[in-house]
Structure formats: C-alpha cells, structure tokens
Amino acid sequence: MHATDTTPDEALPEDVLPTTALQEAGRLMTVCNSCRYCEGLCAVFPAMEMRRTFTSGDLNYLANLCHNCSACYYDCQFSPPHEFDVNVPRVLAEVRNESYQAYAWPPAFAGAFERNGLTISIVTALSVAAFILGFVAFRDPSVLFATHTGPGAFYRLMPHNAMALLFGLAFLYALVAMGMGLRMFWRDIKEPPETLREPPSLWQAMKDAGSLRYLDGGGVGCMNEDERPTDNRRLYHHLTFYGFMLCFAATSVATLYHYVVGREAPYYWYDLPVILGTLGGIGLLIGPVGLLVAKRKRDSVVQDEVRLGMDVAFIAMLFLTSLTGLLLLFLRETPAMGMLLAVHLGVVFSLFITMPYSKMVHGLYRFTALVRYAKERRTLAESHATAG
Amino acid sequence: MIDAKRRYDVLVIGGGNAALCAAISARRSGASVLVLEGAPKFYRGGNTRHTRNMRCAHDAATEILTGPYTEDEFWNDLLLVTKGRTDEDLARFMIHESKEMLTWITEQGVRFQPSLGGTLSLGRTNSFFLGGGRSMLNALYLTAEKLGVEVAYDAEVVGLNIDGGMFVSAVVQHEGAKLEVRAATLVAASGGFEANIEWLKASWGDVADNFLIRGTPYNRGTVLRMLLDSGVESVGDPTQCHAVAIDARAPKFDGGIITRLDCVVFGIVVNKHAQRFYDEGEDIWPKRYAIWGRLVAAQPDQIAYIVFDAKSLDLFMPSLFPPIRANSIRELGGKLGLDPEALDATVTGFNGAVQPGTFDTTKLDDCRTEGLSPPKTHWARALDTAPFYAYPVRPGITFTYLGTRVDKRACILMEGGTPSANMFAAGEIMAGNVLGQGYAAGIGMTIGSVFGRVAGREAAAHARN
C-alpha cells in the first residue's frame, strides 16, 4: 500500500462547511494550527490556537478579527507558489465579505452586497437627485440659486425640522439594521450577549481598535505591495476614522446648538462645529485618498478581488461626504450653496441608508470580534494563573 | 544584476541565515558583497525558511526569555546531544559569541517573541522569531538590500576555480547563461546536501528513495561537493543526517514543520507487517523526536504507522493531515493496507501487557508494559477506546552533517589543516564542526548566525588587505 492512497474523504471535517471560502478557511486554519509561527503577528492566530476544529461560526469570528495586514502571507513558508497554497489574508477577506452578506438585515437586502459598488452608486445618485428635485419642487427654483447668508440660511431651502426628522429616521434605520446584523453575528459565533457588556473587554477592544493594533504586522507595519512593511494603511485609516468621528462630533455639537442654545447654522469659521467639521473633513479627504492609492498598489494576491467594488464604494462615499461638506462650507455665501447643499445632503442620506449594506459594517463586526477576543484572552490568562 | 566585469570583495554563496549574516557583516565592514542564491526568490533561504528559533546563551531573563541560560549550561547541553562529538574549542567560542548575537541580529531587523504555543519547554533557552523563519529572512534581506548588498536569485553556482587553496572565481548559471564571477574572498554558506537523493543513496542505498525531504529541493550540496573535491578538509559523518518520522502523505520536498507528528509516545508504532519494533515511551518526546526517522528507515519499505485511540487525540499538536480513523482496530488495519488480523493481534498483545499506572504526560510516568518485547516503558495505555486512529510515517530528512572543517575565524581548512587563503564557511555546510551528531532545538541557527557574522567580518578584513 502506498500511504498516499488514503482516500480523500478522510480529510473532510464532520460537518461540511457551507461555502468554498469557508472550506478553504477551515483547511488553512488546520495548516496554521500545525505551524503557529505567526502567532505573534496579530489576534487571529492566538484565537485560532484556542481551537482544534473550526465551525463556520469560528471561521467567521476569525475572519472578522483579521485586519488584513497581510504580514502572515509574506512571512509564510507555505504561501503560493508553495503547493500548500496558504493565503490567509485573501481567504479570510472572502469569508469576511461573505459574512457581511449573511448577517445583513433585513435578509431581503443582503443582495446589496453582491454588486455593492454599483448598488451604492445608484442609491447615491438617486438620493442626490431626490434632494435637488425636492428643493425645486418645494421651493421656488429662484430660492435654490439665490444667495443666502446669516442664521437659518440653509433652512430656507429645507426646514430644519424636516431635515432633522429625515436624517434622524435614516440614521435610526441604519442603527437598527446594523444592530440586527450584530445579533446575527453574535449568534453565529455562539457568544453570549453579556460579553458585550463587560467593561474590561470593551475597554481593551476600544484600545485595540482605536490604535489599529493588529494592522501593524506584529510591530513593523502592515504589508501592502510586497514583503517590505509600510505603515501607510494604518495612517490613512486613522485619518479616515478620526476624521469621520470629528465630522460626527461637529454634527452633534451643531444639533445641541440648535435645540439647546437656539443658535442656527451656518456658524462662523471659529465656531466649534465648523472647526471640528473642517478638521474632520480634511482627515476624511486625505485618509480615503491614501487608502484608495494603497488599495490600487496593493498586491492583488492578498485581496478579495471579486468584492473590491465594496471597498472602493465605501471609501468613495466617505470622500464625497467630506468633499461636498467642505465645498458647502467654502461656497456657502455664493449662489452655488443651494445645489451644494442638495448634493451634500443627498450623499450623506445615501451614506446613512446604505450603511448596513456597505463596508461600514466591518467596523462593527471587527470591534465586537475584538471584544470577544479580549474576553477569551483574559479567560485563558486566568485559567493559566489558577493552573499555577 | 550580476556584474561579471567586476571583482567583488566578498562573494557569498547561499541565501539563508548564515549567508545573510555574512553578507551584512561584510558589508558593514566596508566590503562590496554579492550574494548568489540558487533558489528563486520565494524559496530563498534554504532551511532557514522552516526554522522558528535560535538558541543563545544569556545571563539573565529577558523580555522574551524566561530565565538565564549560561555558557556552561549551553556547553553541557551540546555535550549531551553530541555525546562528545564536537570541537570543544570551536563550540565554546560559538557559545560565547551567541550571547552577543541576540542584540546583533535584532539590530539587523530580526524580531523575537516568547516561545510559541506548545513549545513551553524552550521558553528559557530559545528565542523565537516573530513570524517565523521566513519573516526573519525577510528582515535580513531588507537590511542587506538597504546596506547595498547585491543579491541574485536563481543563481546556481556550478563551478569553482580554486587554485592551491585560494578561491579565484565562481561559475554561475543565471538567466540562461554561464557567468564567471570574481571575488577577493569566498563565503560558502550554501547548506547541506539533504535534497540530493543520489548523494543520500551513496550512504543509505536505495532506501533513500523513500525518504521525504523536509526543506527545499535546492539543498543539493553542489558547492560542498566542489569544495571537498578541491582539497578542503571534511568534517562530520557522511552517512549521518537529522531524520525524524513525518507524515508519509507529506510532499517529497518542503513539507516543513506542519507534517511532523508528536504522538508516538501516546500509542504504538507498527511496521508494514503490523509488528512493533521499538519502545515508544522510552523518554520524553523532545528527547526522542530525532531517533524515529532512523528507526523507520530501518523498517521494510521505510514505512510505519502510529496507532492510537480516542483518549489521546487531543494530547498533541495538530498536524496537516488528519489521522486515518476507524471504529475498530481491524477496520483501521484494512484502511492502512495492513493485515487486519495481524494488527488486531499486536494491539491485543499490547493491551494485555499494559500495567496499571497513573498516566501523566508531564513526566516519565509509571504506565508501562510487562512481558512485552519491545516494551513500552512509559505512557503505556491500552488502545481500547473507539474510534481508533493512525498516521502513516516515513523518514523526513532535515539536514546532513558532512561539511567543511573551519577554524574560529570561520576560515576553511585544507586537507592537512592549513587555513585556506581566502575561503570561509558558515551555517549548515560547516555545522558538523560543532555538531558531530544529535541536535538541540535552535542550534542550527546559532551556528549560522555566529559563524556567518564572523565569516563576513573576516572575509571583509581579508579583502581589504
């Protein structure tokens, strides 16, 4: 007998994984768990070592824990062209992207992830068009192209309460839909809901996510084009994320101004909402451009090439949000203000309602995966401590 | 990339840890350096690709090492594994130099981490590379390139012009042409000959056809052969190689770490006639790991089967291929292509000989057989819990011992003991100087780094004179 004659069905796990990507991820985790050389690079491999067999829930958890720094690909002695064909960043990216679709709520909208770039472009175009038409329909076109200045200038085009209601509802919808997605994710990985209420795990995850600790290739920086590390993606992601948060803070402060202090937009350039929004907006211009350039240069072998459209669409939406917002700020005292406001509101509205069906969800699933990882690490450390 | 018109200060043949340490140290000493790596870029680095740690002496615990490991303790460990087959002077020199290596190699960009999951026994003595051997290589290549070391891949050295112990030039097969490369000095860091089956057969006979090679197919020993044929003194036993029992389903070459199996001590090992042939529980696994390649090589058709039951499935590190599984020993025998009755008889005999005891994987326990030949002296538990499992195993060759004799300057010695005028050696090609037999984890990387660094420095100094 030749030992190599062993029938292939021996190699199949007990419960067959539902998709090709999950099956490949299951194969890879078995390879990686036999090696473990990468365990110092990020959170994925230590989490993998806590398991010996991998269900689809386990793999979805690991996939969402992966930040795609790609160090493990270039450090792996078995990556292609080796016959073991170990490509963890790409396969986990595929599993992760499939998981976004699987968790989408309502499930009827899951198809939005299929051709995500196209879907988001269409929704955005329709949204912008609706705002322009709305302004024209509800107001005299001359109002749209007139120059408005002073407090309440924007609200001559759209009443503040209408704006607040519309965007409040859109944002609420996004929150509910993403909350339902998170519920699906949490059930899939079989983690009790209480984990999300543990302060130490939450705090650890906030530190890890806030610093993008696992996008640093284990300390030298993530890898993008080849085995030479760079830290560009982390830098640009920071600009994007913190830029976004500043813009969000600007809107929140402005809302408080409006309802609590009774001061109406537009505000002076030295006012807090404008300063926050401008700083955030600049970050949200440079960050996405940097991420897009990095993505363009990126070694295609470590990417989920089929779903690049989703990444590009989301980055583009953030960029457009910022660009239209800043243009509105600079040209608000000209006749262009009306159109710019319509375009900006259209883009932001689209960003809100497509949020649960866009790359935005990566932040939610990755952050919560980090919460679970923090808990697992702590439990493991405690069990080692009691074991002596 | 290769400039045939130029005369380099230092020509380094090879592309692994020893070669890169030599190239970096020579370049840092001011020499112009060309590295010729016979493999394509992906496979650069030979066995270094598959390594994970390095054994260095240190006087105190560090961030990654759990306690001190003195020079004397290192020396005693080396004495133990080689059974005295080592050059004390050279070995003690290497151990002393290894202390500085942890700092030096970190300065070259290599990063360390505490010992990996499942390797706690090495946490005090061995420094693990963050990201493994290929990550370490990537760091060294990056540093070398930044310093201005020239590197050519797919550049196999097919000829050496050596005149009375003095290196003159090398003939390189590169990009479809043969080039002659001249250099003032040579550093041979091109590894052993474990991937050269014909050469292995010269010592082992046809059984070597059934050996699996754990590293790349590029370790063919071409340069070692040419050096030995040019009057260089050899060191080490030509018939010796580091051989472990690995999964028989592994590819012929480059299966690396993930095809190893750590479950021998938990079951029994039988040959193709379903007969046991050695005490599986002789000693703790890290101490017996490296004898099983040779044991399996001595069995008919160089194949054996590790058989264990459900009780032991999760007691050892997982490996690439799942075990073959069956609900009875007879069925397992059938799946393995063994005589089911014979396997059943062997297991029944073994089970009957198992004495009561307290099973403990952390020490040499008292679970043993009585009246069985060969006995199993520890961790013997009856194979009685279905499902039953088996791994087929074959000898997996890690590296060879035959090499070139060197002195403390890493200078190659010619037959009769006179140092060569301008030839140096580092790494596996001269490991036999320190390691006459046996192995201790991480020592190959110590040999490579220490003698690589010395060889580069000495070659650069020689080239300047």
Sequence-distant contacts of A230-239: CB under 8 A, at least 24 apart:
A232/A290, A232/A294, A233/A69, A233/A290, A233/A291, A233/A294, A235/A290, A236/A286, A236/A287, A236/A288, A236/A289, A236/A290, A236/A291, A236/A294, A237/A212, A237/A287, A237/A291, A238/A212, A238/A287, A239/A283, A239/A284, A239/A286, A239/A287, A239/A290
Q: pLDDT category, A85, cuts 50, 70, 90?
A: very high
Query: Which residues of chain B have a CB within 8 Å of the CB of A76?
Result: 132, 134
Average pLDDT value for residue range A345-356? 96
User: Among candidates A248, A213, A206, which has minimal Cα distance to A352?
Assistant: A248
Does the pLDDT value for residue A7 go beyond 60?
A: no
Which of A1-15, A217-231, B368-382, B430-444 is the most confident on average? B368-382
Q: Is B320 on the interface with A (CB under 8 A)?
A: yes
Contacts of B299 (CB under 8 A, 6+ apart): B271, B272, B277
Does the pLDDT value for residue A13 go beyond 80?
A: no
Record: contact A40-B131, CB cut-off 8 A: yes
Q: Is B342 on the interface with A (CB under 8 A)?
A: no
Please report how many Cα atoms fall inside a 13 Å half-sphere around the Cα of residue B275, on the Cβ side.
6
Amino acid at A309: G
B303 phi-psi bin (left φ>0, alpha ψ -120 to 50, beta other): beta
Q: Is A383 on the interface with B (CB under 8 A)?
A: no
Q: Rounded to the nearest 5 degrees, what angle is found at the Cα of A107, between the Cα atoms of A103 and A112?
A: 85
Integer-rounded Cα radius of gyration of chain B: 23
Record: contact B322-A10, CB cut-off 8 A: yes
* pLDDT tens-place string over residues B239-289: 888 999 999 999 999 999 999 999 999 999 999 999 999 999 999 888 888
Look over chain A and give the mean of its residue pLDDT values, rounded to a whole number: 92
Average pLDDT value for residue range A224-247? 94
Residues B206 and B62 placed together within one structural domain of the fold? yes
Mode of pairing for the β-strands spanning B166-174 and B112-113: unpaired
Query: Which residues of chain A have a CB within 8 Å of the CB of B52?
Result: 37
For A34, the closest of B52, B319, B324 (CB atoms) is: B319
Distance between A53 CA and the closest CA of chain B, angstroms: 10
Q: Cα separation of B250 and B213, whole Å?
A: 9
CATH code (residue B207): 3.50.50.60
Mode of pairing for the β-strands spanning B388-400 and B324-326: antiparallel
Query: Which residues of chain B have a CB within 8 Å of the CB of A75?
Result: 131-132, 134-135, 138
Q: Cα separation of B403 and B417, whole Å?
A: 14
Q: Which of B340, B367, B396 is the last residue of a domain?
A: B396
Record: contact B111-A220, CB cut-off 8 A: yes
Distance between B130 CA and the closest CA of chain A, angstroms: 6
Neighbouring C-beta atoms of residue B417, cutoff 10 Å: 9
Distance between B321 CA and the closest CA of chain A, angstroms: 7
Does the pLDDT value for residue A252 go beyond 70?
A: yes
Distance between A292 CA and the closest CA of chain B, angstroms: 26
Interface of B with A in 398-457 (CB under 8 A): none
What is the structure's pLDDT at A343?
96
* pLDDT tens-place string over residues A353-363: 999 999 999 99
What is the structure's pLDDT at A2?
42
Residues B19 and B141 placed together within one structural domain of the fold? yes
Does the pLDDT value for residue B4 go beyond 70?
A: yes
Residue B1 lies in a domain: no
What is the structure's pLDDT at B287?
80
* pLDDT tens-place string over residues B401-416: 999 999 999 999 999 9
Sequence-distant contacts of B283-290: CB under 8 A, at least 24 apart:
B283/B364, B283/B378, B284/B364, B286/B121, B286/B441, B288/B264, B289/B244, B289/B262, B290/B242, B290/B243, B290/B244, B290/B438, B290/B439
For B318, the closest of A34, A46, A84 (CB atoms) is: A34
Residues B52 and B83 placed together within one structural domain of the fold? yes
Q: Is A71 on the interface with B (CB under 8 A)?
A: yes
Distance between B395 CA and the closest CA of chain A, angstroms: 13
Cβ burial of B17 (10 Å; 0-12, 13-18, 19+) is buried
For CA atoms B416, B419, B425, B427, give the dihedral sign. positive
Record: contact B392-A220, CB cut-off 8 A: no
Domain count for chain B, please give it: 2
Residue B57 lies in a domain: yes
Whether the link from the prior residue into B419 is cis, omega within 30° of 0, is: no
Does the pLDDT value for residue A369 go beyond 80?
A: yes
Distance between A37 CA and the closest CA of chain B, angstroms: 5
Record: contact B132-A77, CB cut-off 8 A: yes
Does the pLDDT value for residue A146 go beyond 50?
A: yes
Average pLDDT value for residue range A159-164? 90
Interface of A with B in 36-65 (CB under 8 A): 36-41, 46, 49, 52
Q: Cα separation of B463 and A385, whole Å?
A: 56
Q: Is B257 on the interface with A (CB under 8 A)?
A: yes
CA A95 to each of CA A20, A57, B273, B458: distance values in angstroms, whole numbers, following the listed order: 9, 11, 45, 52
Q: Rounded to the nearest 5 degrees, what angle is found at the Cα of B304, between the Cα atoms of B300 and B307?
A: 150
Query: Which residues of chain A have a CB within 8 Å of the CB of B49?
Result: 77
What is the structure's pLDDT at A312?
95
Distance between A282 CA and the closest CA of chain B, angstroms: 34
Percent of chain B with pLDDT over 90: 90
What is the structure's pLDDT at B343?
98
Does the pLDDT value for residue A8 go beyond 70?
A: no
Domain locations in chain A?
Answer: 3-102, 104-377
Q: Is A301 on the interface with B (CB under 8 A)?
A: no
Question: Tell me, what's the ipTM?
Answer: 0.94
Residues B258 and B354 placed together within one structural domain of the fold? yes
For CA atoms B194, B454, B234, B74, give the dihedral sign. negative
Q: pLDDT category, B119, cuts 50, 70, 90?
A: low
Q: pLDDT category, A11, cuts 50, 70, 90?
A: very low
Residues B283 and B191 placed together within one structural domain of the fold? no
Query: Which residues of chain A have a CB within 8 Å of the CB of B134?
Result: 74-77
Return the residue matching tokens 């009774």. A262
Interface of B with A in 141-180 (CB under 8 A): 142
User: Among candidates B14, B12, B11, which has minimal Cα distance to B428?
Assistant: B14
Query: Which residues of chain A have a CB within 8 Å of the CB of B321?
Result: 6, 11
Record: contact A36-B321, CB cut-off 8 A: no
Q: Cα separation of A300 and B132, whole Å?
A: 24
What is the structure's pLDDT at B12?
98
Q: Cα separation of B313 and B301, whole Å?
A: 27
* pLDDT tens-place string over residues B78-115: 999 999 999 999 999 999 999 999 999 999 999 999 88
Query: Which residues of chain A have a CB within 8 Å of the CB of B129?
Result: 37
Distance between B186 CA and the closest CA of chain A, angstroms: 28
- Residues in a beta bridge with B10: B33, B185
Does the pLDDT value for residue B382 go beyond 80?
A: yes
Residues B68 and B197 placed together within one structural domain of the fold? yes
For A1, the closest of B118, B319, B337 (CB atoms) is: B337
Residue B140 lies in a domain: yes
Q: Is A161 on the interface with B (CB under 8 A)?
A: no
Record: contact B319-A1, CB cut-off 8 A: no
Q: pLDDT category, B333, cuts 50, 70, 90?
A: very high
Q: Is A220 on the interface with B (CB under 8 A)?
A: yes
Q: Is A11 on the interface with B (CB under 8 A)?
A: yes
Q: Is B27 on the interface with A (CB under 8 A)?
A: no
Question: A interface mutation test: which of B51, B52, B106, B130 has the most A CBs within 10 A?
Answer: B130
Residues B277 and B306 placed together within one structural domain of the fold? yes
Domain that holds residue B316: 244-396
What is the structure's pLDDT at A10?
46
Query: Which residues of chain B have a CB within 8 Å of the CB of A49?
Result: 117
Contact assessment for residue B135 and residue B129, using Cβ atoms and an 8 Å cutoff: yes
B253 phi-psi bin (left φ>0, alpha ψ -120 to 50, beta other): beta
Distance between A196 CA and the closest CA of chain B, angstroms: 28
Interface of B with A in 265-294 (CB under 8 A): 272
Does the pLDDT value for residue A340 go beyond 90?
A: yes
Record: contact B258-A52, CB cut-off 8 A: no
CA B354 to each of CA B281, B384, B459: distance values in angstroms, whole numbers, following the listed order: 12, 11, 60
Q: Which of B396, B415, B432 is the last residue of a domain?
A: B396
What is the structure's pLDDT at A4?
40
Q: Cα separation of A283 and A241, whole Å?
A: 8
User: Among candidates A44, A80, A76, which has minimal Cα distance to A62?
Assistant: A44
User: Among candidates B22, B20, B13, B9, which has minimal Cα distance to B141?
Assistant: B20
Average pLDDT value for residue range B383-391? 97
Q: Which of B343, B362, B396 is the last residue of a domain?
A: B396
- Element holding B127 (H helix, E strand): strand B126-129
Question: A interface mutation test: which of B320, B321, B394 has the most A CBs within 10 A?
Answer: B320
CATH code (residue B388): 3.90.700.10
- Residues in a beta bridge with A223: A229
From A183-187, A301-305, B72-76, B266-270, the region with the lowest mean pLDDT: A301-305
Record: contact B392-A3, CB cut-off 8 A: yes
